[in-house]
Amino acid sequence: MGKLVALFRIRTYIYTYIATVLAVVSFSNFMVQLFGQTIPSTVLAFFREAGVAVVLGAVFVFVFLWFLKARPRNRPQNYSVVPFDVFGSESSISGIRTEFHTHDVAWSYMRQYKEAYPLYNFALVSDVPGSPKRTIFRYI
């Protein structure tokens, strides 16, 4: 009978250890699965979608700002170079071109005239639509 009880006790200890080992292995497998795949994939999916939302938001902000900046403007059709003498009164110089169709050409001529006639000041003016007075764009 003593041998039988000892054998039963050994078998109980072995079953207890096997059950404990199986529980630890099963729980560790669950934890590895949870922290190795489930949580990272969920977090990465969230941040991937959040990153897409941030990038799309930035794109929409830049597009909106570009549309605000790129509004159609009423550009003048003609530009004039007006010379002013040393006293600041409007004068005329014979032999210079004063009417232009583009801003860049008028500005280039105005700089050339300033070098040729240093005692005069020059203004680049135009009739802007909707303005009762002529508008000065540049003055040198």
Total of domains in the chain: 2
CA gap 128, 78 in Å, rounded: 9
Domain boundary pick from 71, 104, 130: 71
The pLDDT value recorded for residue 114 is 93
Q: Are residues 39 and 100 in the same domain?
A: no
Digit-coded pLDDT (tens) for 79-135: 999 999 989 899 989 989 999 999 899 999 999 999 999 999 999 999 877 778 888
The pLDDT value recorded for residue 30 is 86
Q: Are residues 94 and 124 in the same domain?
A: yes
8 or 103, higher pLDDT: 103
Q: Are residues 61 and 84 in the same domain?
A: no
Q: Are residues 43 and 64 in the same domain?
A: yes
The pLDDT value recorded for residue 112 is 94
Confidence of residue 1 (pLDDT cuts 50, 70, 90): low
Digit-coded pLDDT (tens) for 15-63: 888 888 888 888 888 888 888 888 888 888 888 899 999 999 999 999 9
Both tokens of 98, joined, read 């004063």
Q: Helix %, strand %, coil % for the chain, to 5?
A: 60, 15, 25
The pLDDT value recorded for residue 58 is 96
The pLDDT value recorded for residue 108 is 93
Could you list the beta-strand ranges (E) of 36-119: 79-84, 99-100
User: Which structural domain range is residue 7 located in?
Assistant: 1-71
Q: Which of 118, 133, 129, 121 is nearest to 81 (CA)?
A: 121
